[in-house]
Amino acid sequence: MADLHVYIGYREVSSWSLRAWLPLKKTGMPFDETLIRYRLPEHKQRLLSVSPTGKVPLLVHRRDGAEIKVWDSIAIGEYLADSFPGARLWPADPVARAFARSISAEMHNGFRPLRDHLPMALLERHPKAIDDVDAQADIARVAEIWRQARDNWGRKQGGPWLFGHYTVADGMYAPIVTRFRTYGVELDPICEAYIETVTADADFRAWEAQAEIDPPQEPLPD
């Protein structure tokens, strides 16, 4: 049994689970994972018995005889960055780090129209015109964020991620990448290259491969 244990939801749709799982993978630490099929009452009950919120993701870390629980994707990213500094989950430069934290927070509490009009459906592909003006504005804002990060830091650092090497911010935006792919959102070459980076990543692919063999989701309750 590993010291780290993550509870996640349906891989096809649980964007918050993916946001925590990817940085956890990037630490290189071994971990156990439990898929919570939260639409099933017995699974929801199990989650409620371990999680203060009854939501995924939840990280449990056995450390120095204690059991540390961290819930909420962004808190998990922060905890991993603190606990495993060698993984460099935030940029070292304070200005880059401030930008990375700001865009991660912006993702965490914003982009509601984008989330509503382009729900995560990891394995589906159905391009469509995005008519909603607020969702269009969100898409433009995401593209602006990615371009700024790549122009100001990523490209200068030499790696393909927003800040060069992988950070929590890349995890936060990974589900948005899948939405753009699912709905065929067209972007500029810098953003398209970033989408290619995210979708070609071995850890992202591992999540996707597992999603393909997971049993289908239970239907949403009426």
Ligand X SMILES: N[C@@H](CCC(=O)N[C@@H](CS)C(=O)NCC(=O)O)C(=O)O
**Which residues form the interface with ligand X (CB under 6 A)?**
9, 14-17, 38, 44, 55-57, 72-74
CB closer to ligand X, 189 vs 221:
221
Q: How far is the CB of 39 from ligand X (least distance, A)?
A: 8
CB closer to ligand X, 9 vs 164:
9
Q: How far is the CB of 43 from ligand X (least distance, A)?
A: 9
What is the total residue count of the chain?
222
CB closer to ligand X, 38 vs 161:
38
Q: How far is the CB of 16 from ligand X (least distance, A)?
A: 4
Q: How far is the CB of 188 from ligand X (least distance, A)?
A: 28
CB-based closest residue to ligand X: 55
> 16 with 173: CB under 8 angstroms?
no
CB closer to ligand X, 23 vs 57:
57
State the DSSP H helix or E strand holding residue 175, giving kind and residue range, or none if neither. Answer: helix 168-183
CB closer to ligand X, 131 vs 222:
222
Q: How far is the CB of 109 from ligand X (least distance, A)?
A: 8
Burial code (b: 16+ CB inside 10 Å, e: under 16) for 9-38 equals: bbbbbbbbbbbbbbbbbbbeeebebebbbb
CB closer to ligand X, 6 vs 185:
6
- Measured CA to CA, the distance from residue 156 to residue 165 in angstroms comes to 11
Q: How far is the CB of 77 from ligand X (least distance, A)?
A: 10
- Measured CA to CA, the distance from residue 111 to residue 54 in angstroms comes to 23
Q: Give me the half-sphere count of Cα atoms (radius 13 Å) on the Cβ side of residue 154.
A: 22
How many other CB atoms are there within 10 angstroms of residue 60's CB atom? Answer: 20
- Measured CA to CA, the distance from residue 203 to residue 25 in angstroms comes to 7
